[in-house]
Structure formats: structure tokens, C-alpha cells
A = this chain, B = another copy of it.
Amino acid sequence: MAQPDKRRRILDAAVQVFAQFGFYNSKVSQVAKEAGVADGTIYLYFKNKDDILIQVFVDSIDEILRRQEDALADIVDPIERLSTFARVHFDSVAESRALAEVITVELRQSSKFMRNTDLKPFGRYLAMIAHIVEEGQAHGAFSSRLNPRLAARAFFGAIDELALEWAMGRRQSSLSDACEQTVDLFLSGLVTRPHAN
């Protein structure tokens, strides 16, 4: 008792356990044990097991969204904005491989979750990318041929897949390399004229 934030400890424990066993193969009692609380205590902070996963996701996306906003605040060049976005994403994922696995793998898993209105944060994340693309198009820096939402989705898919590869432990190069190359790949396709890298 007396730990300042029990909710936080449960969420952290959940990330570890879900990453190792998968959401549906994880037991609430495992999470409780990892968090050092009683099983019943979980239900003082979360509605049910699903809710733990949702909160993990919401909290994580919120945190990354905050970081993205901070990082992008002073950048105006569209190309630099997109490349910064990718780097912040990779850096965030790199902080916790377990978290990366949970948000990229577990969450897609069920339409129940994906269709959940509480997952709007994910929509906001995609919208953020799309917005960067639109800005770039407005600036004339990005090709106007592309549908911003599709480009955003494809961009997210690419960086997420690379983060997943890294998280699953089959990485054959550093996250940093992956980041650079992905950005490179995409920027070439986006910019009206291939940027001199």
C-alpha cells in the first residue's frame, strides 16, 4: 500500500504480461501479481479485463500524441515534420519493446476493440499524419496526387510493421536504420521533387 499510483503500476504490469503472453492468454491474476496488488484491486481501477487493454492503449497513444505535438511545435518544413514524426514514433516504441508489441499486435486483434469509440485516439494519430501530408500539399512540398488519408495509413502501416519486426526480436538492423530508410522511402514518394537527402 502507499504506492503513489497504483493505477500506473497495474498498467505497467499489464503491458509486460500482455506482451509476453498475449492479451487472451494473460490472466488478470498474473497482472495483479506482477503489479504487486490483489486480484480484486484491479477492479477498483478498471471496469474489466478489456478495459485494462483499452486504457493501456489510450494512455500510450495520448503520451505519444503529446510527444509528437511537442516535437512538431516549432517545425514548419513539411519534409522535416514527417521525418520528425517517424523518429518520435520509433523513439517511443524503442522505449518499451513490450509496449510496442502490445499496441501493435494485441490491439488490432479484435474488431471489438478497433470499433470501440474509446479508440478514437488512434484515429487522432492517423489524422495527425494526414494533416502533415495535407499541409505539405498546401505548401506545394508534397505531391497533390495523393489522398492524404491513404498516404497516412500506408505510412503508419510501414513504420508500425518495422516497429513490430523490431519488437518481435527478429530485427536485423537497428530501429534507427529502419526509421531512416522508411522516411527516406516515403519522402521520395511524397515530395513533388525528390528531395536531396
Interchain CA distance A160-B108 in the complex, whole Å: 12
Per-residue contact bits, chain A 96-117, to B (CB 8 Å; 1 contact, 0 not): 0000010011101111101100
A41 within 8 A of B: no
Chain B residues lying within 8 Å of A108, measured Cβ to Cβ, are 104-105, 108-109, 164
Whether A181 and B105, one on each chain, are in contact in the complex, defined by CB atoms closer than 8 angstroms, is no
Q: Are A147 and B181 in contact (CB under 8 A)?
A: yes
CB distance from A157 to the nearest CB of B (A): 3
The answer to whether A22 touches B105, judged by C-beta atoms less than 8 angstroms apart, is no
B168 near A149 with CB under 8 A, answer no
Question: In terms of DSSP, what is the predominant structure of the interface of chain A?
Answer: helix
How many residues from A make CB contacts under 8 Å with B?
Answer: 51
A133 to chain B, nearest CB (A): 11
User: Is A161 interfacial (CB 8 A cutoff)?
Assistant: yes
A14 to chain B, nearest CB (A): 16
Shortest CB distance A26–B (Å):
11
**Smallest CB-CB separation from A181: which chain B residue?**
B150
Q: For the complex, what is the distance from the CA of A161 to the CA of B161, rounded to whole Å?
A: 9
State whether A146 touches B110 (Cβ < 8 A). Answer: no
- Report the separation of the CA atoms of residues A153 and B189 in the bound assembly, to the nearest whole angstrom: 17
Docked CA distance A172–B153 (Å): 12
Question: Are B146 and A153 in contact (CB-based, < 8 A)?
Answer: no
